[in-house]
């Protein structure tokens, strides 16, 4: 696969990682629609949205809708190993990239015909600990349907981009369909499932632990165009920073990014349970939806179009882009279908409230 192609895929994935730090990343919703609801068919929304808490709610929803570091990283481990081996991997992914690369680079038998290969090995991490790898590899290179790998990190410590990074817990990765082979012509399509079991990453004074499942569906139509869709029934994370610990769970979620030269568009839907001191002492439930895509400029990360809707208990908010990195925040506090208040806000302000 050409170097340029490698860079395009890497850029798309790195953009997603970058957007975890920009809370408006995967948020999007329709123009100036109606008001409140009770959430989707999953969790029963119990968060009451008011003009007083609208900004913290918007910031929380945006952050949670994009913050799937550990499990999403599992897909990045695989793709980095396959198509971007020279790119700087995501935080904490170096030893897992090496482990997966070692698996898929196993050679076929002398006949040259691919065959299933069972593997079990423990690979040392650079600074401390190890990664234990078990599974089956269907072929000698690339991603092929039937590949199934479980990686368990035990006190694995690496320097990633000059940052000391510790990993623990497990990821199970299975290629469900399609393939992505080195040098193969476009289009490319591969679907894999990822299961995180207590997968933890600690780096730069922050730590996160993730449990749950994800289906990762990647399609590339050319060197510069394609899309990634992430879906799952439940993904739970706990994130600890200097400001404290926040926990959240996404259920029945779907996140998608369409990437092309110069921009990326994002959509997201799902039910969220969030424990955030800005919203109270108990977990709250709400639903995020995106009828209209949010557009993010590449590589600047500027938010240029789109909107986000959050449905709470007989209440809702709508955050719409009015200019680059600027928004209007509308609130329907009584669920009558009419937004009673409109307040301006910015990306910088929302980031400060997450």
Q: What is the pLDDT of residues 231-242, one digit of tens each?
A: 999 988 888 878
Distance CA(210)–CA(343), nearest Å, equals 35
Across the chain, what does the average pLDDT equal?
A: 72
Asked if the model's pLDDT at residue 227 lies above 50, the reply is yes
Burial bucket for residue 34 (CB in 10 Å: 0-12, 13-18, 19+)? middle
For the four alpha carbons of 43, 47, 48 and 50, in that order, the dihedral sign comes to: negative
User: For a pLDDT cut of 70, what percent of the chain falls above it?
Assistant: 70
Give residue 13's pLDDT.
31
Beta-sheet pairing, 307-312 with 303-305: unpaired
Taking only the tens place, the pLDDT of each residue in 58-90 is: 988 877 765 433 333 333 433 333 333 232 233
Q: In the predicted model, what is the mean pLDDT of residues 2-25?
A: 28
The H or E element that residue 348 is part of is helix 347-353
Nearest to 27 by CA among 234, 288, 315: 288
The model's pTM is 0.72
Taking only the tens place, the pLDDT of each residue in 132-143 is: 888 887 755 566
Taking only the tens place, the pLDDT of each residue in 89-114 is: 333 333 343 344 433 333 333 334 34
Q: Cα 138 to the chain's mean position, in Å?
A: 27
Taking only the tens place, the pLDDT of each residue in 245-299 is: 878 888 999 988 888 877 888 889 999 999 888 898 899 999 999 888 888 887 7
Nearest to 165 by CA among 196, 130, 201: 201
Asked if the model's pLDDT at residue 187 lies above 80, the reply is yes
Q: Which two tokens stand for residue 22?
A: 């920009």
Tell me if 262 sits within 8 A of 298, measured CB to CB: yes
Asked if the model's pLDDT at residue 216 lies above 50, the reply is yes
Nearest to 256 by CA among 219, 221, 287, 224: 219
Q: In the predicted model, what is the mean pLDDT of residues 304-316?
A: 94
For residue 45, give every residue at least 6 positions away whose Cβ sits within 8 Å of its Cβ, in sequence order, or none: 37, 38, 39, 271, 285, 286, 287, 311, 312, 313
**CA atoms within a 13 Å half-sphere pointing along the CA-CB vector of 254:** 9
Taking only the tens place, the pLDDT of each residue in 16-54 is: 322 222 222 222 222 233 334 433 345 577 999 999 999
Q: How confident is the model at residue 116 (pLDDT cuts 50, 70, 90)?
A: low
Please tell me whether residue 1 adopts helix, strand or coil conformation. coil
Q: How confident is the model at residue 190 (pLDDT cuts 50, 70, 90)?
A: confident
Can you tell me which residue has the tokens 């119990």? 46
Distance CA(183)–CA(168), nearest Å, equals 34
Per DSSP, the residues of 86-137 read TSPPPTT-HHHHHHHHHHHTPPPPTT-----EEEEEEEE-SSEEEEEEEEEE
Distance CA(92)–CA(74), nearest Å, equals 10
Radius of gyration of the chain (CA): 21
């Amino acid at each position: 696969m050409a170097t340029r192609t490698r860079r395009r895929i890497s850029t798309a994935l790195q953009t997603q990682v970058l957007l975890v730090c920009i809370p408006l990343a995967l948020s999007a919703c329709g123009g100036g629609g109606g008001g409140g609801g009770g959430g989707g068919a999953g969790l029963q929304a119990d968060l009451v949205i008011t003009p007083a808490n609208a900004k913290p709610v918007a910031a929380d929803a945006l952050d949670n809708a994009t913050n799937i570091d550990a499990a999403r990283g599992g897909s990045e481990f695989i793709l980095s190993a396959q198509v971007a081996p020279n790119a700087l991997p995501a935080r904490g992914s170096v030893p897992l990239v090496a482990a997966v690369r070692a698996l898929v680079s196993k050679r076929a038998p002398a006949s040259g015909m691919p065959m299933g290969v069972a593997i079990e090995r423990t690979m040392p991490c650079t600074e401390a600990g190890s990664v234990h790898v078990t599974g089956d590899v269907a072929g000698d290179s690339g991603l092929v349907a039937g590949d199934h790998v479980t990686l368990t990190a035990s006190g694995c410590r690496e320097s990633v981009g000059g940052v000391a990074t510790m990993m623990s817990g497990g990821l199970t990765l299975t290629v469900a369909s399609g393939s992505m082979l080195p040098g193969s012509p476009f289009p490319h399509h591969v679907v894999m499932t990822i299961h995180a079991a207590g997968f933890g990453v600690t780096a730069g004074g922050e730590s996160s632990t993730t449990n749950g499942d994800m289906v990762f569906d990647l399609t590339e139509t050319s060197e510069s165009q394609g899309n990634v869709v992430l879906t799952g029934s439940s993904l739970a994370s706990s994130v600890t920073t200097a400001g404290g610990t926040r926990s959240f769970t996404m259920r029945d979620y779907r996140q998608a990014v369409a990437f092309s030269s110069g921009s990326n568009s994002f959509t997201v839907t799902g039910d969220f349970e969030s424990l955030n001191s800005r919203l109270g002492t108990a977990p709250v439930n709400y639903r995020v939806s995106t009828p209209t895509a949010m557009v993010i400029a590449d590589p600047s990360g500027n938010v240029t179009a789109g909107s986000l809707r959050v449905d709470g208990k007989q209440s809702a908010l709508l955050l719409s882009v009015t200019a680059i990195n600027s928004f209007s925040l509308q609130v329907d506090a009584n669920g009558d279908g009419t937004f009673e208040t409109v307040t301006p806000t910015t990306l910088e302000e929302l980031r400060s409230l997450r």
